[in-house]
Structure 1
Amino acid sequence: MQTFLRFILLITLSRPCFSADTLSPTQPLSESQTLVSASGTFTLGFFSPTEISKNRYVVPQSSTGVLTLSTNGTLIITSMQHNSTTILWSSAPTRVNLNNPVAQLLDDGNFVVRDKDQANHVAWQSFDHPTDTLLPGMKLGCDLTTGLNRNLTSWKSPNNPSPGDYSITMDIRGDPQLVFLYGSVRKWRSGPWTGLSFGSIPEMVSYSRIGFNFEFVNNNREVYYRYNMSNRSIITRLVVNQTGKAERYVWLSQSRWSLFWYTPKSQCSSLDSCGPNGICYPFGSPMCSCLQGFEPRSPRDWAMMDMSSGCIRKQPLDCQNSTDGFLKIVRARLPDTWNSFVDHSFGLEECRAKCLMNCSCIGYASADMRAGGSGCILWFKDFIGLAIYSTSGQDLYVRVSKTDLGSSGRKSHRKGIVAIITVIPATLLLACAAASSVWIKRKRITGQVQHHNHQSKIRDEELELPLFDLSLVLEATNNFAPENKLGQGGFGPVYKGKLEDGLEIAVKRLSRNSLQGIDEFKNEALLITKLQHRNLVRLLGCCMDMDERMLIYEYMANKSLDSLLFGREKTINIDWQTRYQIILGVARGLLYLHQESRVTIIHRDLKAGNVLLDETMNPKISDFGMARTFCGDDTTTKTRKVVGTYGYMAPEYAMDGIFSVKSDVFSFGVLVLEIVSGQKINGEAIDPLLSNSSYSLDQVIRCIQMGLLCVQSNPKDRPTMSSVVFMLSTENGRLPKPKQPGFAAKRNSYASPYSSNACDTITVLAYDTKLTLCQETRRKIIIL
């Protein structure tokens, strides 16, 4: 029947002019006709697979095809050519006697042969013979009584709907699971049903919260999976395509199918990425390591990044003396279960005891994750296909010798990694692939940076980064509701969200027309995960699902400094002491970037909008998409692509593309003057709002002077951030007088790109210095 449906079933959302939904023995369906379900959702007829295809399936162009229902309930496709009728296909004889057979296309897409007078008296149905598509209500799996096996099989090509090379079937051996086959070769598996989802598809749990109802049945009569939608108006389908992917589509109101989910999607999705007893880490570099107590079977192969031989035990198990123990692996994708033993009547403690009693048993886990776990899965051979997930996955207990149980568990082999199983090595940013939720704890990278046309490498950086599933972000932000939008930047919009545990987050979503892009996305995630400082914003994770690219940060209750200083309504009067602490905090954050982190980092876009404030008004530098890293002592370079925000850019950078740590110092100086003035430095130097609060005039003047030192024209004259922090932290000591500021009218090797017209000469009385400032720069500093 698979062939039949490839030839005649067409899904559409528009009602053709021929609207009958039923065939009878006296009313056949010709090639020019269609059946339409009562709601108009589904249409059945002869079709061409694509608009460019001239083939009609199955009827040759010179022939006429007809679908007929016989009086005994058999469907028949015939072709008439040269006055001769040929039977091309017929359904199997029905096991049910029908007095008055009809064939009807139902509103769920099922094409059934039944008795006209008994709607539930179904003798044959298309849902028992799926092709490449699984619709809501269809079963994927085995009928153990009749021997019927419902599989999905890909098309040969987009233009050829004959059976292709890929299929999805239910493997009922051991603990049943879906497997993806290329011919007869197993390429991917769903993992066993955990009571909530298939183990390798943890996102099913979150999809259940948005209207998907998943069902898995495993008894002595049948084993199958199917799904339905709570909202019947939502139309979705699961398809296995000719490229080897299972894809879920949702019908949009714009009359098109939208890809909602697919698998396999990560380097750990294949059936056995890391060999026997290896652990695969999605987005890891390297992606494989050995279980604790195991080592590579072939160290030479692992050194060449070929992990297919897997791992072997360092010490044999000691079953006779009962000294073995169990190593708990959290958030695991369970190993292949085709050769496991399953008993749902056991509890976890009984499962452990059963494993210890059997010298061949190598590990165990709960069979059902609901209500704290129940049932028992036992493994007796090597672990195959073990991987690590994030907030999903489940506990796996691996049997190891007493010696290995007491070892540290975090060692390196050739500096292929043998890691403790609660720690996940991962690399993110070398490919923007969609990802499932994966807590990334430990990572080795080999990245490249440039300075003076030489390349140097950053090696063995340890990063922390979780990946969030798209459905979790959608739920947290109420599907990016307008009322949750916090603001808009060059990267894209930023939304407030709340996770299930109550944690508030800020979601930075890359816009399709963003001035920044994938490179900046990778750069920001890569850099911020290296940094740990109270004055740098904390990246909680990222989301890379389909074409979505998002960064998830800790939520800052008091938003950005820009909104507080320059917003239309200043709802918060920031007193001087708070402003001073903000200045000092930003300075300490920059000092960490320039001198205290493992590599020198130049932010390149420091401004009030990129300083966020938490609930205690503690400042945190954000937005590292434009940042650059340096190794060694030489931290000056030139770029052809000038990025950042004009007005905060140092003149040598804006004009000639030369940037260094002193470029950030210049931006910091502008920021300090804005914090003091409360304006975009085009009015009073001291914010009038401060007149209602107490402040130290000497401290204010000291900050102004220090700010002007930072914006001096020549980078060599600007202080380092260590000097700045020192100046801010001490009230004694005379500060040097600032030289010509970087936005002066006079041009030199570090001159401003701005016009020299309409310049004002004003006197800064605080330190008796005359400065020439241009109106066009909108940078006038006046101390009254």
Structure 2
Amino acid sequence: MFGKISCWRNCRLVNLLILSVLATRCLSAPVAIRERIFQNQSISDGQTLVSTSKKFVLGFFTPGASRHRYVGVWHKDDPERTVVWVANRSNPLQDNLGILKFDNSSNLIVSDGKGNSFAVAYGVGVQDLEAAILDNGNFVLRSIANQTNIIWKSFDSPTDTWLPGMNITLGSKLLTPWKSSDDPAGGDYSFGLGVTNNASQLIIWWNGISFWTSERWNGDVNSLIPELKSIDTIPLYFDCDNLTCTYSPNPATRLTKIVLDPNGSLNITQFDPDTQLWTLLWRQPASCEVSNLCGVFGICNNNMLPSYQYQKNLLPSYCRCPKGFAPQDTRYTRKGCTRQTPLQCYGDRFIDMPGMRLPDNREKLSVMGDNECQSACMIDCNCTAYSVLDGCSLWHGDLTNLQEGYNGSGVGTLYLRVAASELESIRSSGHKILWIAGVLPSVAFLIFCIILFIWIRRSKNKGKGKQDGHHSLMTTDTIKLWESEETGSQFMIFSFSKITDATDNFSTESKLGEGGFGPVYKGNLPDGQEIAVKRLAANSGQGLLEFKNEILLIAKLQHSNLVGLLGCCIEGEEMLLVYEYMPNKSLDFFLFEKSRRALLDWEMRVNIIEGVAQGLIYLHKHSRLRVIHRDLKASNILLDTDMNPKISDFGMAKIFDPKGTQANTKRVVGTYGYMAPEYAMAGIFSVKSDVFSYGVLLLEIISGMKNAGSQGRGNSLSLLGYAWELWKEGRCHELIDKSLHGRCPENVALRCIHVSLLCVQEQAADRPSMTEVLSMITNENATLPDPKQPGFLSLLVSSQTEITEETWSLNGLSITKLEGR
């Protein structure tokens, strides 16, 4: 009897032990619990969400050899769990105790075992929410009662993968690759949509510089990547317009994805259910023809292109550095090479690089012969290389697009300037290395030719009239400015031929717009950099002063919220200004058109509001010069690749005395609707003039309405009057752009409206400084005084006094229309 009881007890213990082991294994393996979680639920590391049709999974993962944990999405049928979206790519978890849950503000957060947490999705305070993974791979926060009401979605914040049905949008939704297979944090490349001559293109950027562009969209489903037509079954079909681009797979049920890899290559792959592997269908080719693939002074060789494997901590095999140079960063090819020993100017030598495809940005000289060409480069301390192929050619500054093993034309020996210490010995054969003392006769002859050329040129320019005399004076001032190096190292004097090549000889296709200064063109420099070129019109009455003003001001100003002036060109009667190109045009392009305005979400608007304020604070307070812009408006706020604002068009700007409070001018310039009343009426300007303009701009950004040229705003004739009317009646919330309703904190938007009314007060003394403005916007605890009546309430602000012919800047570079001269 006792034996039976003992046996029964032992069997029971064994069964309990087996059940315990099975339970432990079940808990340690990923457990699919459902396709969604509610606000009182969570998922822990080891659990997953699976979409309704079991196509996509969301859960915790560890990439490659990393020890960190992340939350990501992958295809359920993919045995390798290749992740297509990462929630916390910049905030890895340090343990496997992570939890995904809602916080008290309806935001979805990830927390680790130590209680550290951060938001991965924002529910903007909505209480009726659920988080769900959809069958297209989109992870969303949506209303439980109305599942079509999506509050947030991962498709609006992609990582490195473009999935079918995901819209890539102009100015946002950029793909950024993983840094490596072990680190999903964003790399140096980005991929998105651009528009050229009203046609969409897919673009890859490297640190904001255009790296690769697709063909232009012409309505054909494969016009962006025509190579796809050569595949037996075309794998996907694109559908684009000037604002968005998406694609659908073919066949529709085939798992398809477009991925930007860590090397900046775009890959189109489809999943083969038979082999259970991803098949590569197309890859954006790595080729030395891609602009500046190996960076400055890097030498590219197509014969050494890799097999598209990401090489961690190694310079890719198709790039190398010349003698005397070393990689700037062994992890990233496009940073190129840097000199190991700085040049000394006099005493430098040249190394010969035979079989080199010569860079395009050359300066051709009429000097004949090897020795004379070398001498011309040697006496110019900015000359970095020369060649005698088809005459003498010189190169200045950093060299880009160097290529060896090229079979086309333009291949010759490039003589690269290096410090004398980099050469082990002077070779007795081959190319001769000459000291300055050995070529004095040639140098004397060259100097004589230059002096003769200048004398003839000046003789021709004599007696051409007052305007030409002014032109020559400006030219002299500009050259003196450049030679004094007060403009900084980034400012360059461009040759006219270089600008002509960049703009395709100022072709109609390159033209972006035209204003009082003259036409504006888009151009591409040989290193791939995009530029915007203002060309002074021959009959321009305003351009001479503005040209000089831009050079004297912008070239000395360096700030992330000011547009960059790269340089200028003065050659004969030609006068040109060269700027960095802003791919997302200007603020008014988005702000004053309903469908585009919806793309400006709250975060973008806040970034623009604060960025413009920072730029003005720099101009008024922190720059080497104290500058009043005098023409601040939406069309003069340009937007870069990441929608960061940059103040442009300094043709009307004035330097002021920091000790003085105001100045007076007889020449009133700018745009009515943005001009302060004391300036428009009496020509009195100060930093408070810019504050008034900023107040108008701030009100336009919050409301999405123009101050000028629009009727039907209550009993008022302008946006300022309408805002003042609503302020007095306590109805300022009606000013907030409808597209922002439910998507922005109303108290912050109302604070911005309050600050804008303080900025546009009629008396300049009542307006705050820009430093105070920024503090009031960003500090929610600051107490704001009640505003007084704005200026211009009794005047109708006509639409004809601002830019009505161009309601947005086609060129990404604003052209000012002057009024009230």
TM-score under structure 1 normalisation? 0.41
Point out the structure with the larger strand share.
1
TM-score under structure 2 normalisation? 0.39
Point out the structure with the larger helix share.
2
Larger Rg: 1
